[in-house]
């Protein structure tokens, strides 16, 4: 068969890298059915019409579900025999399976996809009675009703998977990357990852090292290797084994590494392990500079103090942390936003933050935030306008800057949950004001009252201050003044 995959997306979201999910599916199918199929990745409905594959696999997030339906319809018009839908959306909402789609793959897809291919080879068709025995899918029965089969057991060991084909569908300029785990053990109120994966599993250190070695051999000009795990450093024993093996093999001399972590796992030992393997670029989900909002977004054990502690330690180890922030929680106030920008600007002033990203809280399927939005009438229980979930991030897009992002969000009527406390237009004004100052390097006084986050920064600044007091004035040595 000619098998094609396509990611339902939109013209705004940036595509830094090719979807590695397709590389995993291709590798699994080639191992099970060697030499029997031809694979490719497509990028538009026009390509579907030109290529006319026998089987079309479509993947999508909920914000692009409307596009996925359009692609499925285009595939049927083009005469594609089999159309399959996978990804986060159909897993969360199997009842939305479009009538023109043969089946939806729920959660992890490698084993399920191979079983579907084997069924097609045996029967040359996909009839409801045949599909009923495949675990982990949704299909429509003879009456047209969406029927979900029993859940597919998760792979007990990720190491049983073949290496993904990292070049499959990769366009010029797109960077290859690695996954060393699947899932996240934490239950942040806004994040759908833990809902999708069910649990957290890790590749063993030796498997990780083999993938790193293959990566370095295949891409000798790539000098930065990204681990795109939800959280790379949860298992300290595994991190230690990976770090030691990378150093023993000298991989840290060939490339730098980067990843994301939770702030509350950061300590001196972890930073030492990471810097030894030349992993210095780290992203953390700081989310808010207001303790009150942070605990609502994540959990009662998160705190601005823990976020600050993580940056302080990483600064000591000369790491390069970036942080992500979320505005628009339905209980957030204007002062909470000021407090967040105080924290951001204070850490820029001290050289402890290298970059930041701003997002507007958008309900993701199966999360507590989604449930709140439905219960409070901001999202309908049926006939959802899926496109209104688009464009939550200010940075990860192909737009020309902040004002264009705001214009696109307004045109799209992107969903916003906090109109009662901070009207959306005022939030845009605040973001514009502070982001302009950050671009200018103006980290001076911020409006509003000092809260816990700012007071903590000031205490830390004074503690770290190296200088002497002359007649009531502070003489600084090699450190910029933290104003305001």
DSSP track, 408-419: HHHHHT---S-T
Q: Assess whether pLDDT exceeds 90 at residue 458.
A: no
In a domain, 368, yes or no: yes
**Interatomic CA distance for residues 438 and 341, integer angstroms:** 10
Q: At what angle do helices 205-218 and 236-249 cross, to 10 degrees?
A: 40
In a domain, 327, yes or no: yes
* Residues spanned by the domain of 111: 2-148
Same domain for 136 and 263, yes or no, is: no
Beta bridge partners of 7: 59
Name the residue among 140, 143, 142 with its Cα closest to residue 94.
Answer: 140
Same domain for 137 and 202, yes or no, is: no
Same domain for 267 and 331, yes or no, is: yes
In a domain, 324, yes or no: yes
In a domain, 452, yes or no: yes
Same domain for 191 and 231, yes or no, is: yes
In a domain, 318, yes or no: yes
Please report the pLDDT score of residue 465 as a whole number: 41
Average pLDDT score over residue span 423-451: 89
* Cβ contact 321:307 at 8 Å: no
In a domain, 157, yes or no: no
Same domain for 457 and 389, yes or no, is: yes
CA distance readout (Å), 271 to 27, 169, 227, 263: 34, 35, 16, 12
Same domain for 259 and 403, yes or no, is: yes
What is the rounded radius of gyration, in angstroms, for the C-alpha atoms of the chain?
Answer: 24
Please report the pLDDT score of residue 464 as a whole number: 46
- Domain of 66: which CATH number? 3.40.50.280
Average pLDDT score over residue span 464-476: 34
Mean pLDDT of the chain: 91
Q: In what order do the strands lie in the sheet with 103-105?
A: 38-42, 2-8, 55-60, 82-86, 103-105, 137-140, 146-148
- Cβ burial 106-134 (10 Å sphere, 16+ → b, else e): bbbbbbbbbbbbebbeeeeebeeeebeeb
- Band of pLDDT at residue 477, cut at 50, 70 and 90: very low
The backbone torsions φ and ψ at residue 3, rounded to the nearest 5 degrees and listed phi first, read -110, 130
Same domain for 201 and 71, yes or no, is: no
- Band of pLDDT at residue 273, cut at 50, 70 and 90: very high
119-128, 160-169, 442-451, 473-482: least confident range:
473-482
Pairing label, strands 320-327, 256-261: unpaired
In a domain, 482, yes or no: no
Same domain for 318 and 452, yes or no, is: yes
Same domain for 211 and 106, yes or no, is: no
Pairing label, strands 137-140, 146-148: antiparallel
- Domain of 245: which CATH number? 3.80.30.20
39-53, 127-141, 153-167, 183-197: least confident range:
183-197
Q: Assess whether pLDDT exceeds 70 at residue 322.
A: yes
pLDDT in tens, 153-209: 999 899 999 999 999 999 988 999 999 999 998 989 999 987 788 789 999 999 999
Please report the pLDDT score of residue 197 as a whole number: 85
Same domain for 136 and 240, yes or no, is: no
pLDDT in tens, 5-35: 999 999 898 778 889 999 999 999 999 999 9
**Interatomic CA distance for residues 39 and 464, integer angstroms:** 57
**96: which 2 tokens?**
């939305």
Q: Find how far residue 421's CA is from the centre of its chain.
A: 28
- Band of pLDDT at residue 124, cut at 50, 70 and 90: confident
What is the three-class DSSP state of 279? strand
- Band of pLDDT at residue 314, cut at 50, 70 and 90: very high
In a domain, 473, yes or no: no
Q: Assess whether pLDDT exceeds 90 at residue 65.
A: yes
- Band of pLDDT at residue 113, cut at 50, 70 and 90: very high
Q: Which percentage of the chain shows pLDDT scores above 90?
A: 83
- Band of pLDDT at residue 475, cut at 50, 70 and 90: very low
Same domain for 98 and 187, yes or no, is: no
Same domain for 135 and 224, yes or no, is: no
Beta bridge partners of 287: 325
Number of domains the chain contains:
2
CA distance readout (Å), 199 to 50, 229, 255, 360, 466: 40, 13, 31, 27, 47
The backbone torsions φ and ψ at residue 13, rounded to the nearest 5 degrees and listed phi first, read -65, 130
């Amino acid at each position: 068969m000619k098998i094609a995959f396509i990611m339902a997306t939109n013209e705004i979201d940036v595509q830094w890298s090719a979807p590695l999910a397709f590389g995993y599916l291709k590798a699994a199918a080639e191992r099970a059915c060697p030499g029997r199929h031809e694979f490719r990745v497509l990028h538009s409905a026009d390509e579907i019409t030109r290529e006319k594959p026998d089987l079309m696999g479509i993947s999508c997030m909920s914000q692009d579900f409307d596009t996925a339906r359009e692609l499925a319809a285009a595939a049927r018009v083009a005469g594609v025999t089999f159309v399959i839908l996978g990804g986060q959306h159909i897993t969360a909402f199997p009842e939305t399976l479009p009538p023109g789609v043969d089946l939806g793959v729920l959660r992890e897809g490698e084993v399920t996809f191979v079983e579907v291919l084997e069924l097609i080879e045996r029967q040359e068709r996909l009839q409801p009675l045949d599909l009923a025995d495949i675990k982990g899918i949704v299909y429509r029965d003879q009456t047209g009703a969406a029927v979900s089969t029993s859940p597919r057991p998760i792979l007990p060991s990720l190491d049983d998977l073949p290496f993904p084909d990292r070049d499959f569908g990769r366009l010029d300029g797109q960077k290859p990357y690695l996954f060393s785990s699947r899932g996240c053990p934490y239950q942040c109120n806004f994040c759908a990852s833990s809902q999708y994966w069910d649990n957290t599993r890790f590749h063993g250190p030796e498997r990780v090292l083999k993938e790193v070695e293959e990566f370095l051999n295949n891409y000798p000009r790539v000098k930065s290797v990204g681990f795109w795990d939800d959280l790379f450093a949860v298992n300290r024993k595994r991190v230690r084994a990976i770090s030691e093996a990378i150093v023993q093999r000298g991989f840290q001399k060939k490339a730098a590494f980067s990843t994301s972590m939770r702030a509350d796992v950061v300590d001196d030992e972890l930073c030492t392990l990471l810097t030894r393997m030349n992993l210095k670029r780290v992203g953390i989900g700081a989310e808010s500079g207001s303790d009150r909002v942070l605990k609502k977004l994540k959990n009662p054990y998160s705190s601005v103090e823990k976020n600050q502690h993580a940056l302080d330690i990483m600064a000591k180890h000369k790491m390069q942390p970036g942080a992500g922030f979320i505005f628009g929680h339905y209980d957030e106030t204007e002062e909470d936003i000021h407090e967040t920008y105080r924290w951001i600007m204070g850490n820029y002033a001290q050289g402890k933050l290298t970059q930041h990203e701003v997002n507007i809280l958008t309900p993701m399927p199966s999360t507590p935030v989604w449930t709140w939005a439905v219960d409070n009438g901001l999202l309908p229980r049926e006939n959802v306008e899926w496109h209104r979930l688009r464009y939550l991030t200010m940075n990860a897009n192909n737009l020309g800057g902040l004002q264009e992002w705001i214009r696109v969000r307004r045109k799209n009527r992107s969903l916003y949950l906090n109109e009662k406390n901070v009207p959306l237009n005022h939030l845009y004004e605040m973001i514009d004001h502070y982001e302009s100052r950050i671009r200018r390097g103006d980290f001076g006084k911020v409006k509003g009252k000092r809260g816990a986050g700012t007071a903590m920064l000031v205490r830390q600044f004074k503690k770290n201050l190296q200088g002497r007091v002359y007649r009531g004035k502070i003489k600084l040595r090699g450190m910029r003044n933290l104003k305001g």
